[in-house]
Structure formats: C-alpha cells, structure tokens
C-alpha cells in the first residue's frame, strides 16, 4: 500500500529524508537515556546557576568594606547587614550596633527606611523572582530527565521562556544594585566599600542562565522544524489515504467488468 502513496506523493521521500537529517543531531547518552547536546549542556548550566543564585540570595555579602579601613559598616546582603559600633543619625539613643542584623528585626526598626530604600526593595523583588523562575525551570528539567517529553517543542519552548525571565530578573537586580550600591546617601563612606562575592555570584548565575537561554532557544528552533515536518508528513499521508481507497475501488471495478466481459 505504501507504493501507491509514493506514486501519488513524489515529494514525500525528500520530505522524509529532510526530516531524518534534522533528527540526526548530536546526542549525549546518560545510562539508557539519550539527550540532545544543547539541552543537556543547558540543563547543567541552569543547575549550576541555581546554586550560585541560592548562595547569592542568602549571602550577606553584596557589598563589603575593606577590613583595614576600620569602617563602621562591615557588609550587607539582601536581607541582613553587619556593623561594628555603628551609630545611625536617626537613632535618638545613639546606640552602637555591633553584629549582623536581619532587616525586619526590632533592632533595625529605627533606620529600616534608610537601609531599605525603594531601589533596594526593587533589587530584592528582582532577586526573588529570579530565584523563583530558576526553581520552576529546575522542576521542569527534573520531569524532562525522567520522560521523553524533552524532545517535544511544546515542552522545551516554555522552558526557554522561563529561563529567559529568570535571567532578565537576575540582570535587573544586578543593574539596579550596581547603579545605586555606592550611593553616599545610602551607604556610609562608599569609597571604602567593594562589591563582594554574593554580588559576583549573581553575576555568574545570570551569565550561565543567558548561555542556557541561547542553547534552549536553538534547541527549540530545531524541535520546531521537526514538529512542522512531522505535521507535513502526517498531512501528506492523510491526504493520500482517500486517494488510495478510490484507486483500489476503480481497480476492483475494472477487474469485475473484465470478468463479465
């Protein structure tokens, strides 16, 4: 029956050959499972990026003062700041603060507005969403490693979008903090401060996420081509089925007429 399809669909062989060439990609074998090289590398980068993002999110070292300066400010993260005998001008009691303090602790209530200006809250917002999107992507990747859904365009493309959103939020957090982190109205004696490892961890995470987004986008493009060609082949076969049925009926009718002749 396939020969009849080919007779009426001469372009089908070329379409199938192109489809097979598209599928012939670089693959990575892990155990008994096969992975596209782009998808596998992107998954590793996203996992490493998640570790860096988590450390940056929790670490109190987005900015740090040089140890030799004797600065009252020691270091600060997204949720905690550390001081040594620091007295804030808004504190009527002029209590010296030594140690690390959570921003929502009772000790910080007098100058919370100073330590958390609107731009800093925006940094917290972007960092939170960057971490959330990263965890969502990791959850989808965990599912893909246990099933063959990783070869489906409708699965990989949404992951690409989520990875892009994670990278954008990380980048915005870095950008806003980088612009305002050395503001004299916010941080005392900023000339003695430097961006520390938590900030650079977020930068590394953002870079890895950018590379992963590009790889997933390339993978999505290949899967979309396969998806389109697969649908085209299916439509060609579906179009040929009625044609083949009519051909068989005509042939049977001719044979019957010849028998009566």
Distance of alpha carbon 95 from its chain centroid, rounded?
45
pLDDT tens string for the chain (261 positions)? 444 433 333 344 444 444 444 445 566 555 555 667 888 899 999 999 999 999 999 999 999 888 776 677 888 899 998 888 877 766 667 777 788 888 888 877 777 888 889 999 999 999 999 999 999 999 998 888 787 766 777 888 899 999 999 999 999 999 999 999 888 778 777 778 889 999 999 999 999 999 999 999 988 888 778 777 767 777 776 676 554 555 454 545 554 444 434
86: β partners: 97
Query: How far is the C-alpha of 216 from the C-alpha of 22, rounded, in Å?
Result: 16
What is the CATH code of the structural domain delimited by 2-62+116-248?
1.20.140.150
- CA angle, residues 196, 202, 203, in degrees to nearest 5: 90
Around Cβ 203, how many Cβ atoms within 10 Å?
Answer: 18
Distance CA 39, CA 33 (A): 13
Per residue in 102-143, pLDDT (tens digit) is 888 887 777 788 888 999 999 999 999 999 999 999 999 888
Q: What are phi and psi of 221, to 5 degrees?
A: -60, -45
């Amino acid at each position: 029956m396939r020969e009849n399809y080919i007779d009426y669909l001469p372009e089908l062989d070329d379409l199938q050959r192109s489809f097979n060439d598209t599928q012939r990609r670089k693959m990575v074998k892990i155990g008994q499972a096969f992975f596209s090289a782009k998808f596998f590398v992107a998954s590793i980068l996203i996992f490493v990026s998640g570790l860096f993002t988590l450390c940056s999110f929790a670490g109190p070292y987005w900015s740090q003062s040089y140890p030799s300066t004797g600065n009252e400010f020691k270091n600060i993260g997204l949720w905690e700041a550390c001081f040594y005998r620091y007295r804030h001008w808004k504190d009527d009691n002029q209590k010296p603060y030594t140690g690390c303090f959570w921003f929502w602790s009772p000790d910080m209530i007098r100058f919370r507005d100073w330590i958390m200006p609107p731009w800093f809250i925006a940094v917290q917002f972007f960092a939170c969403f960057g971490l959330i999107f990263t965890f969502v992507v990791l959850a989808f990747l965990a599912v893909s490693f246990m099933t063959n859904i990783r070869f489906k365009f409708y699965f990989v493309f949404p992951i690409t979008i989520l990875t892009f959103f994670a990278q954008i939020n990380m980048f915005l957090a870095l950008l806003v903090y980088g612009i305002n982190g050395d503001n004299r109205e916010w941080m005392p004696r900023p000339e003695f401060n430097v961006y520390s490892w938590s900030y650079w961890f977020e930068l590394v995470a953002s870079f890895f996420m950018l590379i992963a987004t590009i790889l997933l986008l390339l993978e999505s493009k290949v899967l979309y081509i396969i998806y389109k060609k697969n649908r085209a082949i299916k439509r060609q076969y579906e179009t040929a089925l009625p044609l083949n049925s009519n051909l068989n009926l005509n042939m049977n009718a001719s044979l019957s007429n010849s028998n009566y002749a």
